[in-house]
Amino acid sequence: MKVGLGLYAGKVTKENLRFARQLGVTRIVQHLPGEETLPSTAGDHWSLEDLRALVRHVESEGGDPKSE
């Protein structure tokens, strides 16, 4: 079973990611990213670099977006 956690814009914080890891969460769903999370969304799109930065942020707290 894969356990996921949905986080709204601005809620992908170190504290929330640590909490998710403690719960055994293996998936993070970033809902409706806002400018505070991905700057490119101010232009109504997600840039590849912003998405990569989000992945790096999750990985820095022990998350592995490639885990199965």
Q: What is the pTM of this model?
A: 0.65
Question: How many whole angstroms separate alpha carbon 33 and alpha carbon 61?
Answer: 19
Neighbours of 52 (CB within 10 A): 10
Confirm whether 65 is domain-assigned: no
Write the pLDDT tens digit of every residue in 8-52: 777 888 899 899 888 888 888 877 656 566 666 667 777 888 888
Query: To 5 degrees, how large is the angle CA 45–CA 8–CA 52?
Result: 50
| Domain range for 35 | 4-60
Confirm whether 35 is domain-assigned: yes
Name the domain count of the chain.
1
Nearby residues of 46 by Cβ (< 8 Å), 6 or more positions away: 33, 38, 40
Confirm whether 68 is domain-assigned: no
